[in-house]
Amino acid sequence: MANNRFIYPKGDGTMAVFIPAPKFLATLVGPLDADGNDTVMTIDEKLIHIANKQLPTGTKYELIDESTDLSDRTFRNAWEYTADASEKTSADLSADDLAKYNMTENR
């Protein structure tokens, strides 16, 4: 299985799950190589890019596998997140990426 979503804490203390649209994932490509061709991004690289785009700079998040069962919403507000070595922190987008998304600044 592959990571295809990420979780992050919201401002109110609850956790959010972000599942990107497959069509958008398919549009993401890496920087140009020496020959001017797009490079291929792994799914994790795409998710990191999306987290940098969607989350405020400095937000902690973690990539999770699609096999993680999120169907039981009964106690979703009681979920607790414990950070481990795989935790990441959102970073600023490059000026080129900001322009690509018609953004003037990072969140």
d(CA 56, CA 9): 11
pLDDT digits (tens, 9 = 90+) for 11-23: 887 788 899 998 9
- The distance in angstroms from the start CA to the end CA of the chain is 31
| Contact by Cβ (8 Å): 18, 9 | no
pLDDT digits (tens, 9 = 90+) for 58-103: 999 999 888 877 777 777 666 666 767 788 899 998 888 888 888 8
pLDDT digits (tens, 9 = 90+) for 8-56: 888 887 788 899 998 988 888 888 788 888 888 899 899 999 999 999 8
* Residue among 87, 84, 37 nearest 60 (CA): 87
Helix ranges (H only) for 1-107 are 22-27, 43-54, 95-100
pLDDT digits (tens, 9 = 90+) for 84-93: 778 889 999 8
Q: Where are the domains of the chain?
A: 3-68+84-100
